[in-house]
Chain A
Amino acid sequence: NAGVTQTPKFRVLKTGQSMTLLCAQDMNHEYMYWYRQDPGMGLRLIHYSVGEGTTAKGEVPDGYNVSRLKKQNFLLGLESAAPSQTSVYFCASSPRQGNTEAFFGQGTRLTVV
């Protein structure tokens, strides 16, 4: 049972570089989320998707883009990385019914130097 898988687990970027974080889920969930977590803080919602082909902005969307071309995948892109984007990124998914919890990936630790 893979659940939610994030790729990569660790990455170091130079300021101005771009990258894409991949989130894949095998539970046929409609809802998918990207969060960032900084020291001493909870999870802040970056973008989310309520279904294939849909995306919506969360609390902290600036500097990030997302795509949900396939139901099982949710991609988070950084077009021009900045040191302020150094963080741990978590992906999560949950079913549409909303009567069960969201399942989380193991996290991606990103450092921008």
Chain B
Amino acid sequence: EDQVTQSPEALRLQEGESSSLNCSYTVSGLRGLFWYRQDPGKGPEFLFTLYSAGEEKEKERLKATLTKKESFLHITAPKPEDSATYLCAVLTRTAGGTSYGKLTFGQGTILTVHP
């Protein structure tokens, strides 16, 4: 059974204090790993897609990396507006293993950045 675990569950930072969020996974046949941001009362907003170990993507203060067993979302010098829940998801094979298409999310990390 595919499993996605995010840590920590919650993270409180001071503005400018860099840190990392973790997403570890145990899956069969990874097709891609996705990072999303979700603000209260809204649907998830796409951030990054990673496909192979060693791959890195950057966007403003965020940088995502991928290894064979986990992904990190690094936040450099965060601002209060970066406060949100960050979700990772993996795209894997269906139950029958005949195709890809199953998208499983972790439970998320709630990030709070204080001014």
Listed in ascending order, the chain A residues whose CB lies under 8 Å from chain B are 30-31, 33, 35, 40-45, 48, 50, 56-59, 90, 92, 94, 96, 98-107
Across the interface, do A48 and B101 meet the contact criterion of CB distance under 8 Å? yes
For the complex, count residues of B whose C-beta is within 8 A of A.
27
Interface of B is mostly: strand
Residues of A within 8 A of B106 (CB): 42
B103 is contacted by which of A30, A40, A94, A106 (Cβ under 8 Å)? A94
Our pick among A31, A33, A56 for the contact of B95 (Cβ within 8 Å) is: A56
Query: In the complex, are the beta carbons of B107 and A92 less than 8 A apart?
Result: no
Asked whether B6 lies within 8 Å of A48 as measured between CB atoms, the reply is no
- B94 close to chain A: CB less than 8 A: yes
B44, B91, B94, B102: the one within 8 Å of A43 (CB): B44
Q: Say yes or no: is B34 at the interface (Cβ < 8 Å to chain A).
A: yes
CA distance A104 to B6 in the complex (A): 21
Residue of B nearest to A94 (CB): B103
Using CB atoms, name the residue of chain A closest to B95. A56
Residues of chain B contacted by A59 (CB below 8 angstroms): 104
